[in-house]
Amino acid sequence: MPLIHSDLERLSVASGALAGALQVDSVWTSLVAAPGQPDGAGTVASGAAMIDALVLMREAIDEAVRAGRTIRNVVGEAVARDPVFAELPPTLVAELESAGHGQAAMQALDEAGYSLVALADAGYATIRSSHGEAMEMLLADMQHMLNGIAALGYLPRRFLCGLAKLSMAAGLITVWVPPHAHAAAAVGLGATVYGTSGCRDLEPARAERRTETKAAPDQPDPKAAPKARPRAIRHKL
């Protein structure tokens, strides 16, 4: 059996934590984007309410990182236990490519060399390394709010991209084996965040290509410009 009961339980709880972080972020952003302004019901958030929201946001950020570790571990254990996860099934490719959300999932898989383990590892490494940035953003937002200044809100882009990859990895491993029931829904949240946050542009190979220095046309550079890291080779399907 590709996934055992405990795997599904851990993935369900962890995926819920990632979705919860986005929900809390949405509420937090609505508060700091217009400090001192009434909401739709005409109520202005009190100082106590803002502190409560700050605590919730901090807990959500921490919980998302812990959830990321869980997803990385479950994916790694499942792939090591069952070779069925070693290669991307052509039928799953067809399912994803026929759905709007699936395109972003295929892009993320492409950047990960079509490896579930690489996708989960990259997601966890990104969300963990951007944890400090997320906390700094949270404190900066709070300071702006206390001064009556609107803040941008929203979790940092890198944090969101790590979350997106982890969410997709958790969803993909549950639909990897045919008939891929609910494949589009399984990657929907992560794929949406991956696309709207422009995560593909943050991939190392693409970042290198954008920053690569080019010689002027009439003054060719005698030294070859450094080449971007080649993209992973797709498995034969």
195 C-beta neighbours (distance < 10 Å), count: 18
The token duo for 191 is 């794929």
Report yes or no on 229 lying in a domain: no
Domain annotation covers residue 168: yes
Q: Is the pLDDT of residue 18 over 50?
A: yes
CA dist 65 and 180 (Å) reads 28
Q: Who wins on pLDDT, 135 or 100?
A: 135
Helices 157-175 & 100-111 angle (0-180, nearest 10) = 100
73 lies in which domain range? Answer: 5-210
- pLDDT > 90? residue 44: no
**Alpha-carbon gap, residue 226 to 223, rounded angstroms:** 9
Contact 63, 21 (CB under 8 A): yes
Q: What is the C-alpha separation between 216 and 205, in angstroms, rounded?
A: 23
Residue 52 located in a structural domain:
yes
- Amino acid, res. 21: A
Instruction: Reply yes or no on whether the pLDDT at 233 is more than 70.
Output: no
Please give the residue that has the higher pLDDT: either 31 or 77. Answer: 77
Q: Is residue 114 part of a domain?
A: yes
In a domain, residue 216? The reply is no
Residue 60 within any structural domain of the chain: yes
68, 202, 206 from 199: Cα distances, Å: 17, 5, 10
Q: What is the mean pLDDT of the chain?
A: 83
> Is 219 domain-assigned?
no
Q: Is residue 232 in some structural domain?
A: no
| pLDDT category of residue 82 using cuts at 50, 70 and 90 | very high
Using DSSP's 3-state secondary structure scheme, residue 135 falls into: helix
Q: Which two tokens stand for residue 80?
A: 């090591």
The answer to whether the predicted template modeling score (pTM) of the entire model surpasses 0.85 is no
User: By C-alpha distance, which of 104, 127, 118 is closest to 75?
Assistant: 118
**Domain count of the fold of the chain:** 1
Please report the pLDDT score of residue 203 as a whole number: 78
Cis peptide before 179 (omega within 30 of 0): yes
